[in-house]
Amino acid sequence: MYTYEYPRPMLTADCVVINPLDEVLLIRRGNEPFRGCWALPGGFMEMDETIGHCAVRELKEETGITVDECAALLVGVFSRPGRDPRGRTVTVAYRVDLDKEVNAVGGDDAAEARWFPLSELPPLAFDHAEIIAAATTAS
pLDDT tens, position by position, 75-92: 999 999 999 999 999 999
Q: Is the pTM of this model over 0.85?
A: yes
pLDDT tens, position by position, 103-125: 999 999 889 999 999 999 999 99
Whole-Å CA distances, 76 to 1, 24, 79, 91: 30, 17, 10, 8
* Helices and strands, counts by H and E, the chain: 2, 7
Of 23, 112, 120, 130, which one is the catalytic site residue? 112
Count Cβ atoms within 10 A of the Cβ of residue 126 and give its class: 0-12 exposed, 13-18 middle, 19 or more buried.
buried
Report the chain's C-alpha Rg in angstroms.
14
| Active-site residue, 112 included | yes
The answer to whether 113 touches 134, Cβ cutoff 8 Å, is no
pLDDT beneath 50: ranges in the chain: none
Give the integer Cα–Cα distance in Å for 83 and 89.
7
